[in-house]
Amino acid sequence: MKRNTRTITVPATLDHLEALTGMVTEHLSAHEIPEKVAFEVDLAVDEACTNVIRYAYGPGGEGDVTVMCSIDPHEVRVCIMDQGVPFNPLNVKPPDLTGDVEDRAIGGLGVHLIRTLMDRVSYHYRQGKNILCMTKGLPIHPKDEKSDNL
Amino acid sequence: MSTILQVEEQRQGNIPVLLLRGRMDSTTSPEAEGQLNRLIGEGAQHIVIDFSDLEYISSAGLRVLLAAQKRMKQTGGTVLLAALRPEIRKVFDIAGFNRLFSISPSIEEALGTGQGR
């Protein structure tokens, strides 16, 4: 079945983060994707885009970020693309979650959230582009599952 | 869906209660960070954060909370969290923050924790 896809490209700056996550959440809402799935996809897209905005083009650098969101009956798939410094977030070591408050590093949780909340995450560097794709499966009867409590 | 964060301060006796409403991400978290830093600077021993109207939190929001808890620990105080929605509670669990914060089902219970210490 043909995927239903929406795409947005904006400058990779923090004031465009809302447009990126907003496009995805509107697309999910229009397809009546369950709130729990939508929350988790929204968060993963936020974390991935925030990383691109903060780090892809280096201090003072400028460039674009593209988000492509596809929905089919079985899954939601979001790809985030930039033309910045090659960076594979899947190489980031998982954070140590065992320490006390004093020992815990500030940061490093974004990639951990993406990997935990999404069912599949892949990274490729092709033709000068970082391409991070994240997939979340949909429940069999999406309209019946509204929350964790069911 | 809200795309802003409102931070409202209330007082329960001597204990400040911050009510967060909306979305706590990398764009909006500095607002909460400013309020927390001010309260810590004023010498608050305990700060209760009411999450009942918070719809969303990202790692940027978690970072602000962890930084505040680190500062409070240095002075023997603590940040207490209350009334997290299930999807936000899940984010806290994944991040291992359930080990770093006292998380109460309600404001009343969080205040009981703060006053009992």
CATH topology of domain A4-144: Heat Shock Protein 90 (3.30.565)
For A20, nearest residue in chain B (alpha carbons):
B3
Q: Of all residues in chain B, what percent carry a pLDDT higher than 70?
A: 95
Using an 8 Å Cβ cutoff, are A75 and A137 in contact? Answer: yes
* Class of the CATH domain delimited by B5-115: alpha beta
* Residues from chain B contacting residue A136 (CB–CB below 8 Å): none
- Stretch B19-43: mean pLDDT: 94
Sheet strands side by side (includes B15-24): B5-12, B15-24, B46-57, B78-82, B102-104
Q: How far apart (Å, rounded) are the C-alpha atoms in residues B72 and B77? A: 5
CB within 8 A of B40, min separation 6: which ones?
B47, B68, B71, B72, B75, B77
Strands B46-57 and A129-137, sheet pairing? unpaired
Q: Is the pLDDT of residue A119 over 90?
A: yes
Q: Is the pLDDT of residue A145 over 60?
A: no
pLDDT in tens, A55-95: 999 988 999 999 999 999 999 999 999 999 999 999 998 89
pLDDT in tens, B49-89: 999 999 999 999 999 999 999 999 998 999 999 999 999 99
- Kindly list the residues of chain B whose beta carbon comes within 8 Å of any beta carbon in chain A: 1, 3, 25-27, 56, 58-60, 62-63, 66-67, 69-70, 73, 86-87, 90-91, 94-96, 99-100
Q: How far apart (Å, rounded) are the C-alpha atoms in residues A56 and A62? A: 9
For chain A, give the mean pLDDT.
91
Using an 8 Å Cβ cutoff, are A69 and A76 in contact? Answer: yes
Q: How far apart (Å, rounded) are the C-alpha atoms in residues B24 and A90? A: 25
Using an 8 Å Cβ cutoff, are A145 and A34 in contact? Answer: yes
Q: Is the pLDDT of residue A128 over 50?
A: yes
Strands B102-104 and B78-82, sheet pairing? parallel
- Quickly count: other Cβ atoms within 10 Å of residue B17's Cβ: 20
Residue with tokens 């009343």: B108
Q: Is the pLDDT of residue B47 over 60?
A: yes
pLDDT at A1: 46
Query: Which ipTM did the prediction report?
Result: 0.89
